[in-house]
A = this chain, B = another copy of it.
Amino acid sequence: MQAVKVAVVGASGYSGEELIRLLARHPGVELVCVTSRQHAGKPLAAVHPRFAGGRFGGVEFAPSDAGSVIASGAAFAFLALPHGLASEFARPLLAGGLRVVDLSADFRLRSAEVYREFYGEEHPAPELLARAVYGMPETHREEIREAELVASPGCYPTSAILPLYPLLERQVLAPATIVINSLSGVSGAGRKAVEDYLFVECNENARAYGLPKHRHLSEIEQELSAAAGAAVRVSFAPHLIPLSRGILTTIHASLAPGVEPGAVGAALEEKYAGERFVRLLGEARFAEIKHVALTNFIEIGWRHDPRTGRVIMSSAEDNLVKGASGQAIQSFNLMTGRAEDEGLV
């Protein structure tokens, strides 16, 4: 199979850098274009020194506009841009015939209204929403294969939706009782020179934030509602903890009336039996970030507490891989007819 000419738009942040790190190991990719507002003209290795001497270290940053991307001959574009900005690229790139995986939030929500509610601004390209597919292969695989525009899921939503999806699909849990607590590494905040994310401010610290209505809640509820076949409202509490990479999510929920505890494992095993990147832990242990760091795996453990009737689930992922760039490549592989794990092992 021929290598696909690929562009990475917005290659200066953590997701863009991670994407290129992963693509450099992908045999089916030729990187023909990287863009950045600030770095046009510089080689990739000048901005990200870890790529010096590597496969793509010499690729030069193009100006950050859709015309440059199209001119590069790329057939495929990954957008690793802030929300709002991604739409500005998606529209002309799609018009130019490229297929697009967007890592921002622009196309994750089906509804422009929900977008307005959670993002506090009008959706920048509502006409594209119907063409976008939510890029979670475990729940939307067939749609992704055919998609021209994939909205790669957010890091928190990935860690929360994957454990819960099969349980809501099969009515194992009582949706109104779901409480999700997530702990994220600081790379989730992006490469922004902001005092809150200085080493000294984050080290030896932890805090909840964005409560009670973090933007990712909209995405979690959309997908869980789809799974349940009914509107689902959940509590979601994100926390910042002192590590660079990784998300650990702990979920409490009550079993639906009349459901036996064993239904939890059964639903997960049935749904994810053949999944390459979902590691089910059963009751043996709870998820740990170190076992998935730098991989595209998510691991999921669970236990039933007979004292309270609640199920406790825990999931762990690398927020930059399964929670962002790795999952985007999973979609790319599906869209281009490749083995789903190509370049990801």
Contacts and interface: CB of A to CB of B under 8 A. Distances in A.
Interface of A: 14, 24-25, 49-50, 52-55, 176, 179, 181, 183, 185-187, 191-195, 197-209, 211-213, 233-235, 237, 239, 241-246, 248, 250, 252, 276-277, 279, 285-295, 297, 299, 303-305, 307-308, 310, 312, 314, 316, 345
Question: Which among A14, A192, A198 has the greatest number of chain B C-beta atoms within 10 A?
Answer: A198
A303 B241 CA distance: 21
A23 to B, nearest CB: 12
Nearest to A307: B233
B54 A345 contact: yes
Contact of A194 (B193, B308, B310): B193
27 contacts: A50-B290, A54-B345, A179-B179, A181-B181, A185-B204, A186-B199, A186-B200, A197-B199, A199-B199, A199-B203, A199-B244, A201-B290, A204-B204, A205-B246, A205-B288, A205-B289, A205-B293, A207-B248, A208-B312, A212-B307, A213-B305, A213-B307, A235-B308, A237-B250, A237-B312, A242-B242, A242-B243
A203 B237 contact: no
Contacts of A310: 179, 212, 235
B211 A286 contact: yes
Contacts of A292: 50
Given A25-B345, A53-B276, A200 B206 contact: no
Q: What is the oligomeric copy number?
A: 4
A264 to B, nearest CB: 13
Given A52-B299, A207-B286, 15 more contacts: A183-B183, A183-B241, A185-B204, A186-B199, A191-B198, A191-B200, A193-B195, A193-B198, A203-B203, A204-B289, A206-B248, A206-B289, A207-B316, A235-B305, A241-B243
Contact of A204 (B49, B194, B243, B277): B243
A292 B25 CA distance: 16
B244 A203 contact: yes
A345 B197 CA distance: 29
B312 A203 contact: no
Contacts of A25: 25, 345
A186 B248 CA distance: 17
Contacts of A288: 49, 205-207
Nearest to A283: B211
Given A50-B295, A193-B195, A279-B52, A239 B250 contact: yes
Nearest to A310: B235
A70 B200 CA distance: 33
A289 B203 CA distance: 10
Contacts of A243: 203-206, 241-242
Contacts of A294: 294
Contact of A209 (B49, B234, B286): B286
Given A191-B195, A206-B289, A289-B207, A24 B345 contact: yes
Nearest to A248: B206
